[in-house]
Amino acid sequence: MKVLLVEFSIAGHSLTYISKLAESDLYEAVLVVPEKIKTLNCKQYELELQEHKNPLQYFKWIVDLKKIIKKEKPDVVHLLYGDNFYRYCGLGLRLLGKNKTILTLHWIKGDKFHKISTKSIAHRVKQIIVHSDYMKNQLKILNINNAERIEYPYFSIIQPDKIKAKEYFDLKNNIPVLCCLGSARDFALHLKNQFHLSLYYSSMT
């Protein structure tokens, strides 16, 4: 089976994500990425959507992707960051082949426009992938029944420590750190209250 993996960015955790999917022994992976990933040996096409807010660039990207699909004839087309299709309600997705296209959504908004857009996207693909029961339930509320929850891939172990957390937030030693968590991005959240909760995020890449 041949799977075409389509990603809009290879920055941060996106690189780790697509790399692990590309290394699977379950299928032949072909990548469509904004720039080639030198650490991977699989076939790759460079295709960048420079500004998805520009409708002309968006639809040109769709047409160019269709050309790659026509050439490669994959069994599955997996759009790894489907959130970029909200703005245009998924218009153009059917050109990629509804019966072979799946799409991963990472967030859902509850306003009227995004509800309409989510339904429109769902009608244009074979399946929607989400990584939480909450998101799957939100899609069910919208009467979207072609969604499947798949556990977010587990890549590696990271060990953030309390000392680095205190240094990052400039906390005194006598201030307790209630928890110390890792994440795929470099990001910090500091909640000041009666107790200090420090969440120290360490990049996986």
**pLDDT tens digits for range 12-30:** 778 888 988 998 899 999 9
**pLDDT tens digits for range 34-78:** 999 999 999 999 999 877 789 999 999 999 999 999 999 999 999
Rounded distance between C-alpha atoms, residue 119 and residue 167, angstroms: 46
187-199: average pLDDT: 43
Confidence of residue 201 (pLDDT cuts 50, 70, 90): very low
CA distances from 150 to 104, 123, 162 (A): 10, 20, 32
| First-last CA distance in the chain | 29
Rounded distance between C-alpha atoms, residue 56 and residue 40, angstroms: 31
Rounded distance between C-alpha atoms, residue 17 and residue 147, angstroms: 20
Across the beta sheet with 76-79, what order do the strands follow?
43-46, 28-33, 2-6, 76-79, 101-104, 127-130, 147-149
Nearest to 117 by CA among 137, 94, 135, 91: 91
Q: Which residue has the tokens 């790659």?
A: 68
**Quick one: DSSP state of residue 148?**
E
The pTM for the full model equals 0.77
Is 202's pLDDT higher than 50? no
The residue type of 166 is K
Within 8 A by CB and 6+ apart from 55, the residues are 88
Strands (E), the chain: 2-6, 28-33, 43-46, 76-79, 101-104, 127-130, 147-149, 188-192, 196-200
Rounded distance between C-alpha atoms, residue 114 and residue 124, angstroms: 15
